[in-house]
């Protein structure tokens, strides 16, 4: 049953891609949610959270209700910034830094799915909001360098592989619906599924970025601690063009770590054909810092 919680998160995440899936709130066991709002040393104060979210929205000129009650609106507003390129990305990240400082020690108590569920918000809204903030945690933190370096390419993949990403989620959904015990294998498949198009189009380091982003945003690591995102190139012959981000290190490959596997050749060819069809404008090349 715990898998349904992850599904809810993914469904909420994919809302902008109009992927909807009904979920039964009664089926969500609280035990999977992890640390509750009181698990840390501080509790989340409503007034503080409201204030910090208002400041975040004001900084980005986001009007209307764009928060945990309607994460889709927040997500769309942030997309406008993301799609405008690296300057937009950095503006969102500035707002996110202020938001993080604003919440201070209560950050992890507030950016917590259980907190909103207990307030009576829907599973989808609670998961969707926290997922947006977790995603920013990575994109504006450990993943910022990769994001800035390859933003144009990342945006291209995001736009052009939409149906691939929908299929990734459907496959994940089907697998865990049929076999809930296969959650962690399905989670690995899901992260692989998301990272392959990025590897083919943007290179191995961006593949790491895409995998880590999915892992952190969906909090897959909570249940599947062995889930790791390694830097893998598409095949052995690309080894030399690997470029490790500063904050990662090359670890010995664990036998269970399927991230170590290169992309299957047939899939690689298919994705390469798709990647080759992506028109890259001069502006996007500039955004991407002249990638490939």
Q: Which two tokens stand for residue 106?
A: 């209560």
Q: Which residues bind ligand NAG (CB under 6 A)?
A: 19, 21, 60-61, 91, 170, 173-174, 177
- Write down the least CB distance from residue 173 to ligand NAG, Å: 4
Q: Of the two residues 61 and 235, which places its CB atom closer to ligand NAG in the complex? A: 61
- Radius of gyration for the alpha carbons in the chain, expressed in angstroms and rounded: 19
Q: Of the two residues 22 and 279, which places its CB atom closer to ligand NAG in the complex? A: 22
Q: Of the two residues 19 and 73, which places its CB atom closer to ligand NAG in the complex? A: 19
Give Cβ neighbours of residue 180 (< 8 Å, ≥ 6 apart). 1, 2, 3
The answer to whether the CB of 208 falls within 8 A of the CB of 248 is yes
- What length is written for the chain? 292
- In terms of Cβ atoms closer than 10 Å to its own Cβ (0-12, 13-18, 19+), residue 174 is exposed
Q: Of the two residues 19 and 145, which places its CB atom closer to ligand NAG in the complex? A: 19
Q: Of the two residues 19 and 274, which places its CB atom closer to ligand NAG in the complex? A: 19
Q: Which two tokens stand for residue 28?
A: 């969500």
Q: What do you get for the CA distance between the two ends of the chain, in Å?
A: 43
Angle between helices 123-139 and 86-103 (to 10 degrees): 110
Q: Of the two residues 61 and 159, which places its CB atom closer to ligand NAG in the complex? A: 61
Q: Of the two residues 19 and 285, which places its CB atom closer to ligand NAG in the complex? A: 19
- Write down the least CB distance from residue 210 to ligand NAG, Å: 21
The answer to whether the CB of 268 falls within 8 A of the CB of 236 is no
- Write down the least CB distance from residue 177 to ligand NAG, Å: 4
As a dihedral over the C-alpha atoms of residue 161, residue 164, residue 170, residue 171, rounded to 10 degrees, the angle is: -140
For 48, other C-beta atoms within 10 Å of its C-beta total 15
- Write down the least CB distance from residue 174 to ligand NAG, Å: 4
- Write down the least CB distance from residue 26 to ligand NAG, Å: 17
- Write down the least CB distance from residue 60 to ligand NAG, Å: 5
Q: Of the two residues 159 and 174, which places its CB atom closer to ligand NAG in the complex? A: 174
- Write down the least CB distance from residue 118 to ligand NAG, Å: 27
Give Cβ neighbours of residue 119 (< 8 Å, ≥ 6 apart). none
Give Cβ neighbours of residue 249 (< 8 Å, ≥ 6 apart). none
The answer to whether the CB of 172 falls within 8 A of the CB of 157 is no
- Write down the least CB distance from residue 70 to ligand NAG, Å: 21
Cα 264 to the chain's mean position, in Å? 23
């Amino acid at each position: 049953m715990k898998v349904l919680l992850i599904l809810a998160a993914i469904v909420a995440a994919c809302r902008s891609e109009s992927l909807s899936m009904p979920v039964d709130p009664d089926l969500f066991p609280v035990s999977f949610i992890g640390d509750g709002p009181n698990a840390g040393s501080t509790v989340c104060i409503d007034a503080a959270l409201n204030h910090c979210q208002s400041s975040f929205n004001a900084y980005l000129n986001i009007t209307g209700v764009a928060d945990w009650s309607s994460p889709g609106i927040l997500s769309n507003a942030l997309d406008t910034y993301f799609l405008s390129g690296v300057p937009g990305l950095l503006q969102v990240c500035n707002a996110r830094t202020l938001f993080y400082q604003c919440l201070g020690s209560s950050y992890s108590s507030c950016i917590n799915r259980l907190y909103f569920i207990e307030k009576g918000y829907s599973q989808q809204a609670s998961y969707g909001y926290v997922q947006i903030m977790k995603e920013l945690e990575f994109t504006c933190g450990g993943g910022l360098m990769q994001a800035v370096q390859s933003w144009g390419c990342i945006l291209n993949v995001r736009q052009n592989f939409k149906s691939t990403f929908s299929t990734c989620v459907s496959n994940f959904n089907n697998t865990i619906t049929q076999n809930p015990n296969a959650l962690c294998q399905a989670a690995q498949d899901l992260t692989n599924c998301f990272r392959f198009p990025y590897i083919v189009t943007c290179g191995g380091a961006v593949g790491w970025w895409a995998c880590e982003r999915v892992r952190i945003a969906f909090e897959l690591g909570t249940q599947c601690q062995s889930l790791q995102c390694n830097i893998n190139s598409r095949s052995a012959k690309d080894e030399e063009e690997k470029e490790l981000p500063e904050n990662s290190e090359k670890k010995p490959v664990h036998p269970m770590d399927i991230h170590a596997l290169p992309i299957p050749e047939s899939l690689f060819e298919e994705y390469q054909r798709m990647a080759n069809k992506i028109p890259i404008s001069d502006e996007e090349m500039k955004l991407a810092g002249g990638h490939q």
